[in-house]
Amino acid sequence: MIFESHAHYEDKKFDADRVELLSNMREHGIGTIVNVGSDLETSEKTLELAAEYKDVYAAIGVHPSEIACLDETGIEWLRERVSDPKVVAIGEIGLDYYWDKDQEVQKMQQYWFRRQLELAAEQNLPVIIHSRDAAEDTMKILQEFAKKHPAIESPGVIHCYSYSPEMALEFIKMGYYIGVGGVVTFKNARKLKETVAAVPMDRILTETDCPYMAPEPYRGSRNSSQYLPYVVEKIAEIKGMASEEVERITEANAKRMYRM
């Protein structure tokens, strides 16, 4: 079975057919799904989905573009809910400088990124990291975190990876996994394909980020976990191995990272 390491089925784009989709994933070769919150409201909805569906697990956290909803009460809200047995990660958290160039906003993103990293360490959970146009600061904060918590061997995943192969290898040295989704199938995704070629197979996770980032030949349409075979096939092509082997290894990687 293919492991879906990052989805957003609480999104309104799934309102019409969410039940049908999540009830039939195994028929399409999709096993475990980790649904990921991006603020407190979607984290709550993620917990509800995890409670309803056997194969759905939850990551809860606040995306850097949504930090306006976060305060000490919000951190406590997250802390109270990580005891749920189906919560497997804190995420998605991180930095996103694409939408907001204001330095004060970026400093606030960094503050809440660090706070949520500490919450994950406190609760012995991995993190799902969103990083866009913020490579240098993401690396700096994660290096600081690694020095502070050297015993954490598998701290999390750099989701929807978009930086250089060289930087990916630096993240891997700190124990992180690299999330690979539909972008790897795009003709202009040279950098991500080079990253997949450079990264050891035991550090790659398959993901969709659905309803976003659908692979070819569905680029531009609503994404779902049922399109993950296209991601697996492209990784297999790049690595020169069978799709079944990619499926087996990435599933084992995800279960190891999420401590399942």
| Segment 196-213, tens digit of pLDDT | 999 999 999 999 999 999
CA atoms of 85 and 212, how far apart (whole Å): 27
CA atoms of 101 and 163, how far apart (whole Å): 19
CATH of the domain at 32: 3.20.20.140
Q: Are strands 30-36 and 56-60 parallel, antiparallel or unpaired?
A: parallel
**What is the band of 100 on the pLDDT scale with cuts at 50, 70, 90?**
confident
Q: What's the pLDDT score for residue 41?
A: 98
- CA 67 from centre of chain: 18
Q: Please work out, in degrees rounded to the nearest 5, the angle formed at the alpha carbon of residue 148 by the alpha carbons of 147 and 149.
A: 95
Indicate if the pLDDT at residue 233 is higher than 90: yes
Q: What's the pLDDT score for residue 227?
A: 98
Q: What's the pLDDT score for residue 149?
A: 94
| φ, ψ (nearest 5 deg) of residue 157 | -130, 140
Which residues form the domain of 48?
Answer: 2-257
Q: What is the pLDDT of residues 135-193, one digit of tens each?
A: 999 999 999 999 999 989 889 999 999 999 999 999 999 999 999 999 999 999 999 99
CA atoms of 174 and 196, how far apart (whole Å): 18
Indicate if the pLDDT at residue 99 is higher than 90: no
Q: Which H/E stretch holds residue 129?
A: strand 127-132
Give this prediction's pTM.
0.97
CA atoms of 248 and 129, how far apart (whole Å): 24
Query: What is the residue-averaged pLDDT of the chain?
Result: 97
Number of domains in the chain: 1
Indicate if the pLDDT at residue 101 is higher than 90: no
Q: What's the pLDDT score for residue 139?
A: 98
**What is the band of 226 on the pLDDT scale with cuts at 50, 70, 90?**
very high
Q: What's the pLDDT score for residue 102?
A: 86
CA atoms of 196 and 173, how far apart (whole Å): 16
Indicate if the pLDDT at residue 91 is higher than 90: yes
**What is the band of 131 on the pLDDT scale with cuts at 50, 70, 90?**
very high
CA atoms of 207 and 2, how far apart (whole Å): 9
Output the six-digit token pair for 254.
């995800």
Q: What's the pLDDT score for residue 73?
A: 97
Q: Which H/E stretch holds residue 204?
A: strand 204-206
Average pLDDT rounded to a whole number, residues 8-16: 98
CA atoms of 155 and 125, how far apart (whole Å): 8
Q: What's the pLDDT score for residue 235?
A: 98
Kindly give, in sequence order, each residue whose CB lies less than 8 Å from that of residue 52, ignoring residues fewer than 6 positions away. Answer: none
Indicate if the pLDDT at residue 66 is higher than 90: yes
